[in-house]
Amino acid sequence: MHREPHLTNAALLARRQAAVARGVGHAHNIFAARAANAEVWDVEGRRYIDFAGGIAVLNTGHCHPDVIEAVKAQLDRYTHTCFQVLAYEPYVELAERLNSLAPGNFAKKTLFLTTGAEAVENAVKIARAATGRPGVIAFGGGYHGRTLLTLGLTGKVAPYKTGFGPFPGEVFHATFPNALHGVTVDDAMASVAAILRNDIEASRVAAIILEPVQGEGGFHAAPPELFQRLRALCDQHGMLLIADEVQTGAGRTGTFFASQQMGVAPDLITLAKSMAGGFPISAVIGRAEIMDAPAPGGLGGTYAGSPVGCAAALAVLDVFERENLLARARTLGERLRAGLTTLAQRHQSIVDVRGLGAMVAIELAKGGDVKQPDADLAKRIAAAAAERGLILLTCGTYGNVIRILVPLTASDALVDEGLGLLAEAMNHVRAS
């Protein structure tokens, strides 16, 4: 392969700007050359601590040796047959293992796809086929992907939906609880009731979909009471409950599925991102009879559940067991929360430290006033952190949240080093 002898980030950025559609966002002007666990080196040889994890994909770290070994072994056997044409065992074994991990004391079945959005699309298709109903209720601030249906479900206009409508119909948005801003579970349930009163009758609603912790929306955890009351509502009206665990799943929150902490089981769960440690595969896991509603041929895809993705995902499940990563997610989360709380005591602009397990974030507001979200500060902190060797990601409806998705496999020393760089970046931004 042709390689420039002396690549620089600036030269690559110029090439990128000339060759790549500008709609593909970029958080940092940094080009990766190699990565291991929670560290990345750029094309100029600079080292970074990775608190972004490729947006929640690297719970087991960059290039975990066991995942890479499993993928290499799979590459030597076969890379593609299309599961609908010639089936293979890794797909079946992965389905068996996810069925046994998913919450709910009922028989389950699983379908594999390639991306998170594709999993969400298919969960809605399955819910419609199982109920014979069209409607879907999602939540404001929720994020479900970039395809047209998942954009329709997504509850944030800019930048995701701008210019791309119209979106599929029969999708309605309820209000997600937000303790910091005084939105209660009662408010959320009242907003669902309003949709059923004003927009669509319950008997035409196939499903309610929500993230156990809103990811792109700003790391707002659903109170378990919300899940429990939505479950009861769904049971009352024959609607299905879908947990979008694309970002929360694969151990991020301290249980393999965040919905395990909600006290009730969803009918369908979507999973992607960290389930295969950096390889593209996604899943819909759910009640067997619901999953079987679509007729043979109704589900699938050329690359859906690729053997390479399945091999990587099986290795990830083994790594979770061997390295006890669920317990690690909980202790890491406590460590991050403690470090960020200390930082909040020194910076009035940090108005909240929140999250579930190791899915942790800080919210920033001008002068400590929660009503004045400070997206510009979040951006400047992320840039100052990158200059110091720490990769951060922002999120939130107002762009004023900094989220941490460091690999669960990162050492305490590395996490503390990263928190130290964040503190330096915040001091620098305050002084500048």
Ligand X SMILES: Cc1ncc(COP(=O)(O)O)c(C=O)c1O
List residues near ligand X by CB under 6 A: 55, 115-117, 120, 143-145, 211, 215-216, 244, 246-247, 272
Q: Which is nearer to ligand X, 254 or 339 (CB)?
A: 254
The minimum distance between CB 388 and ligand X, in angstroms, equals: 26
The minimum distance between CB 338 and ligand X, in angstroms, equals: 26
The minimum distance between CB 366 and ligand X, in angstroms, equals: 27
Q: Are residues 343 and 123 in contact, defined by beta-carbon separation less than 8 angstroms?
A: no
Tokens 């009352």 map to which residue?
236
Q: Which is nearer to ligand X, 339 or 399 (CB)?
A: 399
**390-391: strand order across its sheet:** 32-36, 39-42, 47-50, 390-391
The minimum distance between CB 1 and ligand X, in angstroms, equals: 27
The minimum distance between CB 115 and ligand X, in angstroms, equals: 4
Q: Which is nearer to ligand X, 168 or 389 (CB)?
A: 168
Q: Which is nearer to ligand X, 130 or 272 (CB)?
A: 272
Q: Which residues pair with 363 in a beta bridge?
A: 352, 401
Q: Which is nearer to ligand X, 177 or 339 (CB)?
A: 177
Sequence-separated contacts (24+) of 319-324 with Cβ below 8 Å: 319/60, 319/64, 319/66, 319/67, 319/277, 319/409, 320/60, 320/250, 320/251, 320/256, 322/66, 323/409
The minimum distance between CB 215 and ligand X, in angstroms, equals: 4
* Alpha-carbon distances of 205 from 80, 151, 172, 187, 233, rounded to whole Å: 38, 19, 10, 20, 11
The minimum distance between CB 176 and ligand X, in angstroms, equals: 12
Q: Which is nearer to ligand X, 149 or 332 (CB)?
A: 149
Tell me the residue number closest to ligand X, measured at CB: 116
Q: Alpha-carbon distance 426 to 377, whole Å?
A: 9
Q: Which is nearer to ligand X, 145 or 277 (CB)?
A: 145
What is residue 94's three-state secondary structure? helix
Q: Are residues 326 and 254 in contact, defined by beta-carbon separation less than 8 angstroms?
A: yes
Q: Alpha-carbon distance 325 to 169, whole Å?
A: 41
Task: Return the amino acid letter for 325.
Answer: L
Name the nearest CA neighbour of 273 among 58, 68, 25, 120: 58
Tokens 């994020």 map to which residue?
143
